[in-house]
Structure 1
Amino acid sequence: MRIHFIAIGGSAMHNLALALHDKGEQISGSDDAVFEPSKSRLKAKGLLPENEGWFPEKITADIDAVILGMHAKADNPELLKAQELGLKIYSYPEFIFEHSKNKTRVVIGGSHGKTTITAMILHVMNYHNVPVDFLVGAQLEGFTNMVHLTKENDFMLIEGDEYLSSPTDLRPKFHLYQPNIALISGIAWDHINVFPTFENYVEQFKIFIDKITNGGILIYNEDDAVVKQIVEEAEKPIRKLPYTLPEYFIENGVTYLETLDGPMPIEVFGAHNLSNLAGAKWICQNMGIDEAEFYEAIASFKGASKRLEKIAETKTTVAYKDFAHSPSKVKATTEAVKKQYSNKKLIACLELHTYSSLNAEFLTEYQGALDAADTAVVFYSPDAVAIKKLEEVTKEQIEQAFNREDLIVYTNPEEFKSFLVVQDFKDSVLLLMSSGNYGGLNFDEVQQMIE
């Protein structure tokens, strides 16, 4: 097939382009800006557009499919040309469904834990040499791409996020996959620029449940009250399998999972990761991996990239980077690290970077999110607020929102970096939570900072 990508440089889009290229399809694409690592990865495969911009002359009648990325606009000249020629145009999730419509689709949904659960399942499948097609939201250790597609594999494992499908299709992505096996890890209001109320956000998960194929399986976190309620109320003819936080204990900085064969040390920690593990186990069991095989494999799982990723360590100090940015994730991650290292000082730094986190009305959702930290720091860029065309957020608003008198707030990247440089990190844990980089912080330098 000849396939053209409009907005090929996106994280998900370029991975799909690479996967289809590896599958043997003929790939072309355009974008008005391509950044690293997409740029180098596309260039290595000969897929990087020669020039940045949109070129309707690239759109010709012999193209079998056009895949439209969210970065493009509805009036994109290449899209308009494709529509004029009557070409088959797919959103990203539409194409994934088209590829997997004859496979067993396993879709992992939820406001948090999606990437980790998907990564756990892939780790287990890879350990036991069970090949599966997949789509995951982060680069995983041991896997070249975030997307892998074949003709022969029976399963398609999909991280199903609730963000919009394309500029011309405003349905959440996970509404389009029609899973045979689904999981919901938890519901905590997010993407407020798209889902303005909590009720509207919850409704998306009700629709997700309704999209499961008749006779399918829904695995759900019954510790989450909202999830439990909507699953129990759902009338869809499916099997409903609940999971809950498993028994565990921490000894000398190591987390042990209680199993039928006795305590088992694991590499990951924190209640949210152990809950994710319980969900992943149910999924794997429904993909043909028994409990003993699951435990054997999961013991060596070190975590997904940017999800409580250890980035530096000395004899007395350790530093973690985490993608946490929504209130529930920040709270869970901070509490998990403090519990794991109860005898160390926790310095927790959060960057408010997303549309939701920089919204003045939404800020109040962060109350208590950093309470478990001994030292709590919040960084945000007034420029990011301006770029997102939001109302100005003041330091006072942030201090009030977190409801913590000793909260340290920085708006200047250099001042924040200087704060880190002068800290005495002995017997401490440094936790850096952000979906950004604190205005240009080089995470590779953190080892030098803590030494």
Structure 2
Amino acid sequence: MNVHFIAIGGAAMHNLAIALHHKGYQVTGSDDEIFDPSKSRLEAVGLLPERFGWYPEKISANLDAIVLGMHAKADNPELLMAQELGLTIYSYPEFLYEQSKHKTRVVIGGSHGKTTITSMILHVLHYHDRDVDYMVGAQLEGFDVMVKLTDDNDFIVLEGDEYLSSPIDRRPKFHLYKPNIALLSGIAWDHINVFPTYENYVEQFSIFVDSIVSGGSINYNEEDPEVKRVVEASDNAIRKIAYSTPDYHIEDGQTFLTTPEGDLPVAVFGEHNLNNLAGAKWICQHMGIDEDDFYEAIASFKGASKRLEKIAETKNTVAYKDFAHSPSKVEATTKAVKAQYNNRNLVACLELHTYSSLNAEFLKEYKGALDAADTAVVFYSPHALEMKKLEPISKSQIADAFERDDLIIYTDAEAFKDFLYAQDFKNKTLLLMSSGNYGGLDFDELRTFLESQ
């Protein structure tokens, strides 16, 4: 099968391209820019385009399928040629469904936790040598790729993103997978540029629940009132199975999970992650992993890439970076780190970097998000606002939104870096939350500084 990727360099797109290459397909692709790690991964398997840019001459009638990425625009020259030739054009999720429509599809949805839950499930299955197809949004220890597709495996585990499918398909990705087994972890308004109202955003999750195949099942976090309402209001003929945070306790910076066999030390921590673990356990049981085997495997799960990733530790100091950027994730992560190291002062730093977080109307959603921190810092770049064509926001707007009088706010990357390097982190915990990099912060250099204290 000959498949061409328009915007092959995307985080999801390049992984799908590599998966199809491993499956024996003829794969080509284009993009106007490709950065690492996508660039080196594509180059390693011979899929990196010789030249960057869009070339309509690459599009011909002998192509069996076009996979269109979100980075491309609706007037992309290669897309226009494909449409003119009447070729079959798939969005990324449409193509995944085509590859898995004869499999048992397990889809993990939710505003937060879906990457971690998907990663937990795959870790447990990998530990017990259960081979499945999958698509996950983070690099996992023990896994070479983030997408795997075969002709033989019965199950496919999919991280169900609610963002749009393609420039010409405005449906959320997770509407297209038609799961047999589903999970819904939480609902907290996000992607304000696509879903301008809270009600419109929540509606997408109702559609997701209704998309589960008749006779299928959904596990849902009953501690989230909106999740509980959405799932229980659905008339879909499916099994609805609630889960909640299991009992656990913390001793000297170590989290212990309460199990029928006694206390189990686990590497992940925080109430939100223990809640994620409960959801993952249910899904693994649906897939044939019993409770004892789940606990044996999950004890060694260290977390998904960029999720509460430890970057430095000494006897006096520990530092984490986390992908958290939406209000609910920021609040959950800050509380988790403070609870894990409650005898230390927590310095929590948040970069406002996404379209939603830099939107003046959305800022109020951050009320209380950093309250668990002893020292709370917000960094944002006025240049990022310009790049996203958003209205300027002031420091006073930020302070008012978080409702914290002692909030420290930086708009200059060097000034933020100077603040960090001026701190004495003895008997303190540092938490850096962002989907960006604080204007170019060198994390290796920061690690060296922290470990020298």
Q: TM-score if structure 2 supplies the norm length?
A: 0.99
Query: CA deviation digits over 1:56-82, x for unaligned, max 9?
Result: 000011111110000111111101111
**Following superposition of structure 1 onto structure 2, how do residues 185-204 of structure 1 map, counting pairs within 5 Å?**
185-204=185-204
What is the deviation of 1:83? 1.0
- State whether structure 2 residue 218 is matched by structure 1 residue 232: no
SS of aligned partner of 1:227:
helix
Distance 1:446 1:112 in 2: 28
Pairing 1:210-229 to 2, within 5 Å after superposition: 210-229=210-229
Whichever residue aligns with residue 400 of structure 1, its letter is: D
Classify the secondary structure of the residue corresponding to 1:336: helix
What does residue 48 of structure 2 align with? 48
1:315 Cα deviation after fit = 1.3
User: Which residue of the partner structure matches residue 306 of structure 1?
Assistant: 306
Give the drift of 1:422. Answer: 1.2
CA offsets 1:295-316 (integer angstroms, 9 cap, x no match): 0000000000010010111111
Q: Matches of 1:442 and 1:144 in 2, distance apart?
A: 26
Name the residue aligned to 1:151: 151
Map of 2:261 onto structure 1: 261
- Report the secondary structure of 1:162's partner residue: coil
Aligned to 1:434: 434
CA offset digits 1:237-281 (Å, max 9, x no partner) = 000000001000001110000011111110000000000000000
- 1:351 aligns to 2:351 (yes or no): yes
Q: Which residue of 1 aligns with 2:99?
A: 99
Amino acid across the alignment from 1:437? N
The answer for the alignment partner of 2:57 in structure 1 is 57
> In the aligned structure 2, how far is the partner of 1:151 from the partner of 1:311?
39
Q: Does 1:327 align with 2:327?
A: yes
- Which runs of 5 or more structure 1 residues have no equivalent in the other structure? none
Query: Displaced runs of 4+ in structure 1, greater than 3 A?
Result: none
CA contact (8 A) 1:363 1:401 kept: yes
Once the two structures are superposed, residues 105-142 of structure 1 have per-residue CA deviations (whole angstroms, 9 ceiling, x without a partner) of 00000000000000000000000000010000111111
Q: How does 1:171-190 map to 2 (within 5 A)?
A: 171-190=171-190
Residue 396 of structure 1 is matched in structure 2 by 396
Q: Secondary structure at the match of 1:57?
A: helix
Contact in 2 for aligned 1:381/1:439 (Cα 8 Å): yes
Counterpart of 1:112? 112
Whole-angstrom distance in 2 between the partners of 1:87 and 1:343: 62
The whole-number CA distance in structure 1 between the counterparts of 2:449 and 2:410 is 18
Aligned-partner Cα distance in 2 for 1:84–1:389: 33
How many residues were matched structurally? 451
Mark the runs of 5 or more structure 2 residues left unpaired by the alignment: none
The one-letter code of the counterpart of 1:347 is V
Does structure 2 retain, via aligned residues, the 8 Å contact 1:325–1:433? yes
Q: How far apart are 1:448 and its partner, in Å?
A: 1.7
- The match for 1:78 is 78
The SS at the match of 2:230 is helix
Partner residue, 2:416: 416
Residue type of the alignment partner of 2:377: V
2:229 alignment partner AA: Q
Work out the CA distance in 2 between the residues paired with 1:448 and 1:410: 23
Q: How many Å apart are 1:446 and its aligned residue?
A: 2.1
CA distance in 2, matches of 1:37, 1:300: 26
Amino acid at match of 1:116: T
Question: Over residues 134-188 of structure 1, what are the superposed CA-to-partner deviations in whole Å (9 max), with x where a residue is unaligned?
Answer: 0001111111111111110110100000000000100000000000000000000
**Structure 2 CA distance, aligned partners of 1:128 and 1:70?**
36
Q: Aligned Cα RMSD in Å?
A: 0.6
SS at match of 2:17: helix
Kindly indicate whether residue 146 of structure 2 is the aligned counterpart of residue 160 of structure 1.
Answer: no
Task: Check whether the contact 1:420–1:449 (CA below 8 A) recurs between aligned residues.
Answer: no
1:67-102 residue CA offsets vs partner (Å, 9 max, x unmatched): 000011111110111111111110000000000000
Q: What is the rounded CA distance, in whole Å, between the counterparts of 1:414 and 1:449 in structure 2? A: 16
Distance 2:109 2:206 in 1: 12
What is the rounded CA distance, in whole Å, between the counterparts of 1:48 and 1:207 in structure 2? 37
**Conserved 8 A contact 1:39-1:48:** yes
Q: Identity over the aligned pairs, expressed in percent?
A: 72
Q: CA deviation at 1:442?
A: 1.4
SS at match of 2:106: strand
Asked if 1:29 is matched to 2:36, the reply is: no
What is the DSSP-based 3-state SS (H/G/I as helix, E as strand, rest coil) of the residue aligned with 1:315?
A: coil
- Contact 1:2–1:26 under 8 Å retained in 2: yes
User: In the aligned structure 2, how far is the partner of 1:81 from the partner of 1:9?
Assistant: 20
| Contact kept in structure 2, 1:160 and 1:173, CA below 8 Å | yes
Q: Which amino acid aligns with 2:330?
A: V
| Partner Cα distance (1:417, 1:24) in 2 | 47
C-alpha displacement at 1:449, in angstroms? 2.2
Is 1:366 aligned to 2:366, yes or no?
A: yes
- Report the equivalent of 2:87: 87
Q: Return the alpha-carbon distance in structure 2 between the equivalents of residues 275 and 315 of structure 1.
A: 29
**Normalised by the size of structure 1, how large is the TM-score?**
0.99
